[in-house]
Chain A
Amino acid sequence: MSPLLSVRNLRVSFPTRSGTFDAVRGVSFDLGRERLGVVGESGSGKSMTGRAILGLVRPPGRVTADRMELDGQPILNLPERQMRALRGARISMVMQDPKFSLNPVMTIGRQITEGYRLHTRTTPQAARDKALEMLRAVQIRDPERVFDAYPHEVSGGMGQRIMIAMMLAPDPEILIADEPTSALDVSVRNEVLRIMDKLVRDRGMGLIFISHDLNLVAEFCDRVLIMYAGRVVEELPAHDLKNARHPYTQGLLNSLPRLDHPVERLSVLQRQDSWRDEEIATPFPGGL
């Protein structure tokens, strides 16, 4: 089966006063109809990878890649017009904090229908029906009321579910979720994840789940990429996380305090310079 999204040797660089800063340095992966987790610490380039796919890297940032294809069709550095047609309709993105990604002076219903109508050109009535259906799909009990509400009138967890509803309304093939639950409390987090999981599975979409939380990603995703300093240092099936081979992955896992395993001092990750550039052990599936 050919992958939905295929990326080879993706690089994102920013010119700075003291030379070029490479935020992403040669990331390659294929995404099928699966849940792919991208894990790393701040500055590892995980968010920048997601933004690069959507063409959201702002100048003077430069994006290059040997290949970046959606269904076999190149999407690297498309003109803004074509990229806009692609964003939302075929690839969507859910950001970290719904407070900043929802427009505070527009009703929720209008925000959902606007994006949907832009991509599908249906009647207002059809768009409204679709929006209500999506709100129901993300388990909002009173969709009619929420449809006419403003973003400040809903809680954070509901805001994030609304974002998911909005992003999934045009039936995209790929959803990129950048830390979608980091701003949420644990009890709400699990609910949002469950909804996202169900929708993605029912629709047979590809999901790129970007997070700093290794354990969460391991539970939620099928496959995990671990990023360090702009590169993928290890790729693992999610259930195999405990058997991670790369010292960075192991270090990350060990540095977490655990309820079931009390220790006097936590083990501290010793970073090694060699991680930046050494050959990556995981063979690449599908070849280059």
Chain B
Amino acid sequence: MLNIDHLDVWFGDPPERVDAVKSAGFTVAQGESFGLVGESGSGKSTILRAITGLIGTWSGLIEVDGEKVSGQHRSRAFHKTVQMVFQDPYASLHPRHSVDRVLSETLHLQGMDQIDARITRLLDSVGLGKGFRFRYPHQLSGGQRQRVAIARALAAEPRLLLLDEPTSALDVSVQAEILNLLTDLRRERGLTYVMVSHDLAVVAHMCDRLAVMRGGEIVEVMEAARLRAGDPASDYARALLAASAGFAREGAPG
């Protein structure tokens, strides 16, 4: 479904050029859920932005569904196949557009018919009733906004969904709801996920396989089961796992 090889992404020109991703490579099979894990600045979100063409300064191979892409331009077919959910639901919805406007514009752009009926169905599928259709973003909670953003991504009926930290701006109880929603949607629609997160537990819960990134490089690609077993191969992944297991007080009992 997705094939990435020797991907370099950079910002700016020399001498101020910053290499955000260095020679990254991984493949994601149809129907699989793949995780990208790392700390801030590790380049994990940058990979998603290069795939979608939001960043143009990259080299290497990006292949989606057997089709190579290049530069910043993406075809109509690409937009129908690949969609993305952004990290911050407060920044990813236009403040002056109602839910209705967001979804109808998206459906229109994707060349869909029966827009009215589809909006109702989309809202239903992300667990929002009809009552939410004419609300503006400021009338929605963070979790509801993220549901709208997911509905927008689903409007094109894509097969590959890129999830950029979809729950890190949300409360834990809302996070559980959104993660469940994503799990259900994937099962119902046979979606392929690429999920970026800094939270190992979230990625282990959602993904079959994952790549650990550090400083723009992929340190290790492993099965989620291996992470759960606490047995990654690389030192860095092990250190990351230990750190996220929690804060251990020095010299304190227990």
Contact = CB atoms under 8 A, between A and B. Distances in A.
Task: Give yes or no for direct A-B contact (beta carbon below 8 Å).
Answer: yes
Interface of A: 41-42, 156, 185-187, 189-190, 193-194, 197-198, 212, 214-216, 219-220, 239, 251-252, 255-260, 262-269
3 closest cross-chain pairs (CB), A and B: A257-B205, A255-B176, A269-B173
Given A186-B240, A251-B173, A262 B247 contact: no
Which of A42, A198, A219, A259 has most B Cβ within 10 Å? A259
B243 A267 contact: no
B204 A262 contact: yes
Contact of B244 (A42, A186, A220, A260): A186
Contacts of A186: 39, 198, 240, 243-244
Contact of B246 (A185, A219, A263, A267): A219
Interface in B175-221: 175-177, 179-180, 183, 198, 200-202, 204-206
Given A255-B175, A257-B179, A257-B204, A187 B39 contact: yes
B171 interface: yes
A266 B200 CA distance: 15
B244 A265 contact: no
Given A219-B246, A266-B205, A255 B228 contact: no
B40 interface: yes
B239 interface: yes
B227 interface: yes
B181 to A, nearest CB: 10
A101 B176 CA distance: 31
B250 interface: yes
B200 A259 contact: yes
B77 interface: no
Interface of B: 39-40, 142, 171-177, 179-180, 183, 198, 200-202, 204-206, 227-228, 230, 239-241, 243-250, 254
Contacts of A190: 243, 247-248
A187 B243 contact: yes
16 contacts: A42-B142, A189-B243, A190-B243, A194-B250, A197-B249, A219-B247, A219-B249, A239-B254, A255-B173, A256-B201, A257-B204, A259-B241, A263-B205, A266-B180, A267-B176, A268-B177
Contact of B201 (A41, A251, A258): A258
B172 A212 contact: yes
Nearest to B199: A257
A194 B204 CA distance: 27
Contacts of B205: 257, 262-263, 266
A251 B204 CA distance: 20
Given A185-B39, A216-B247, A266 B176 contact: yes
Given A186-B243, A189-B247, A212 B201 contact: no
Given A185-B198, A256-B172, A216 B246 contact: yes
Contacts of B206: 257
Nearest to B201: A257
Contacts of B243: 186-187, 189-190
A8 B240 CA distance: 42
B173 A252 contact: yes
Contacts of B40: 156, 185
Given A185-B39, A189-B243, A255-B173, 12 more contacts: A41-B172, A41-B173, A186-B39, A186-B243, A190-B247, A190-B248, A212-B171, A216-B246, A257-B205, A259-B204, A267-B176, A268-B177
Nearest to B200: A259
Nearest to B169: A42
Contacts of A258: 201
A262 B204 CA distance: 8
Nearest to A267: B176
Contacts of A268: 173, 176-177, 180
A272 to B, nearest CB: 13
B247 to A, nearest CB: 5
A267 B254 CA distance: 28
A190 B201 CA distance: 17
Contact of A257 (B142, B173, B202, B247): B202
Which of A190, A251, A257 has most B Cβ within 10 Å? A257
B230 to A, nearest CB: 8
Contacts of B246: 215-216, 219
Contacts of A219: 246-249
A251 to B, nearest CB: 7
